[in-house]
Amino acid sequence: MPSSVRETTVEEPAAPAAPPRAPAPVRRTKLLALPEVRWAGAATLAFLLALPLQLAGLSAWWWAPLYAVAYAAGGWEPALEGLRALRERTLDVDLLMIVAALGAAAIGQVMDGALLIVIFATSGALEALATARTEDSVRGLLDLAPETATRVTGADGGTAQVPTSELRVGDEILVRPGERIGADGEVVDGGGEVDQATITGESLPVPKGPGDEVFAGTVNGPAGALRVRVQRDPSDTVLARIVTLVEEASRTKAPTQLFIEKVEQRYAVAVVVATLAVFGIPLAFGADLTGALLRAMTFMIVASPCAVVLATMPPLLSAIANAGRHGVLVKSAVAMERLGQIDTVAYDKTGTLTEGTPRVVAVTPETGFDERELLTLAAAVEHRSEHPIARSVAEAARERDLKLPEAYDFTSTPGRGVAATVDGRKVEVGAPARLLPDATEQGTAPEADGTTTVLVLVDGAPAGRLALADRPRPDAAAAVADLARLTGTPPVLLTGDGPGAAANVAAAVGIEDVRAGLLPHEKAAAVSELAQSGRAVLVIGDGVNDAPALAAAHTGVAMGRAGSDLALETADAVVVRDELAAVPRAVWISRRARRLVAQNLVIAGVCIAILTVWDLVGHLPLPLGVAGHEGSTILVALNGLRLLREKAW
């Protein structure tokens, strides 16, 4: 690729800023798109058509076919699942419900059996809805990736617009200034700065050149074009893998659910044995066959643990869906359940408690310049640039109400800085090591106090320096306080930064326990030490260097959009929108989900106990048994789905 791919702006208006970061849209699954909803709807409609015909006293030829449709539409899928389980020598509630419904029909209680089928199918549809909402909450992330890309078609540099889905490993694409990158790959030519906030959460654009990795959905800066070789299939990009992670989360099972399913197998066998006893013992003492069979069918229905089975997953899946809708991707039901158990929080500093967006904290002029003049000259040049440091310098000038002169012959060199002519003088602003190779300040690494230095040259001579520092997120102090109230214990700051910078941020956000200068393995050791003292530690970090601590924690939450494979594999949850305030809300909704699970288990247990005792001791009508049992099943499902509501967050 010719070197002309590196573009320099001369006497032209600044390129438009990259599109603002916006929450991923939520694409809602339509109800009728779910097969469980369609089958449950068909069964319900057939039942509602048949019931008035039967109650009106019409011949069975009018209403029996409709009941048959209700049985078939609502019962074929659970019957198939039950037979599959039976083939594997297990017994589940699906088969119990189908047997009970068919048994009711066999003794003339056709309407009661159909009612059982309809309510059971409705319960399954509600569970499917919770799962679908979980998936919907993150599918909008795929919209961050562009639909088309400019593929290089030959050695002569020809290009063609193609759908990103058609890109293959080894293809090369051209990414012009301001465009979104269409695939995960490696830069082979060109240079620029890429806004990776959509993937890593980094607020500062990252310089990119040959050999550097870039991600689909990130935005190329305004100062240069990139030629990128595709290294991952479109189905395997970081964004696509995020969606896959959440889809897998909806299929995982929390420890409580696993325990219930383990007990369910034995309980189902016990119900079958007890049902046979309820049927056989009265017969041995001369009871009526139809009456004994009716009592046995009623017992099988009311004793089946349908409500217990549905007690756990709807609340947890609803919590996952609601959190995902608000930018917190919880990777599994296990993680959602564990999130509510934490009692201590350990934070990383840079990119987690801080924005990563610098601001001017000191202006140091050389002899012959004053602070206002130095800042005016620097801002006159920088206001033409879209770099975050440039925006910070321009913002500092606006805060001081400085009038900026016109800048001419503006140029921007990635990695070096910007330059322009202001009032007849050439003004350069950038990294000291690049503008003056002999300068002692590197300008690319924070100093002991956490500041970064920018050098200003006027006609080739130093005019002064600007010190910039990262600042705490606006919501950091409130989020730290909220989590401290939820856990009841003081938080901890674990950072690799120096003590000075760490202390400044800690004081600003309200953390007293500060441990600075830690390497990644030392962060993990600090977390393990807290865990050994009996604490369930939540670690909140933002990068690969935090991965060991995230792995050692009871629960790990990654800030940003989790671009690295290591972060995706290690963290239990990801805060997509970089909103620290979302973390205490996620902990809160996890605790609500755990409370709802406990409520559901109590409701299910009480209903089963009352109905079974009623059937054994007295006479429980089959319709009432069906309504009570399946009503409790729907009740626990709806109770769990309450967490889908907006106000639950």
Give the CA distances from residue 646 to residues 321, 589, 641, in Å, rounded to whole numbers and listed in that order.
Answer: 11, 11, 11
Output the six-digit token pair for 276.
Answer: 């046979």
In whole angstroms, give the CA distance from residue 71 to residue 50: 12
Query: Of 92, 348, 470, 497, which is the active-site residue?
Result: 348
CA 20, 24, 27, 28 torsion-angle sign: negative
**Residue 264 parent element (H or E):** helix 255-284
Task: Let me know if 348 is a catalytic residue.
Answer: yes
Closest to 186 (Cα-Cα) out of 163, 164, 216, 161:
216
Alpha carbon 461 to its chain's center: 50
Q: Check: CB of residue 78 under 8 Å from CB of residue 124.
A: yes
Q: Check: CB of residue 479 under 8 Å from CB of residue 467.
A: no
Conformation bin of residue 125: beta by default, left when phi > 0, alpha when psi is -120 to 50:
alpha
Q: Check: CB of residue 563 under 8 Å from CB of residue 238.
A: yes
Length of the chain: 649
**Residue 526 parent element (H or E):** helix 520-532
Output the six-digit token pair for 472.
Answer: 């705490």
Output the six-digit token pair for 120.
Answer: 């059971």
In whole angstroms, give the CA distance from residue 544 to residue 539: 13
Residues 6+ apart with CB under 8 A from 308: 260, 264, 601, 604, 605, 608
Q: What SS3 class is residue 205? A: coil
Output the six-digit token pair for 380.
Answer: 């006159």
Distance in angstroms between the alpha carbons of the first and the last residue of the chain: 51
Give the CA distances from residue 378 to residues 395, 425, 459, in Å, rounded to whole numbers and listed in that order.
Answer: 11, 12, 13
In whole angstroms, give the CA distance from residue 323 to residue 134: 9
In whole angstroms, give the CA distance from residue 274 to residue 264: 15
Conformation bin of residue 107: beta by default, left when phi > 0, alpha when psi is -120 to 50:
alpha
> What residues are paired with 172 via a beta bridge?
229
Alpha helices by DSSP H, listed for 90-237, are 93-106, 110-139
In whole angstroms, give the CA distance from residue 637 to residue 315: 8
Point out the residues that are catalytic: 348
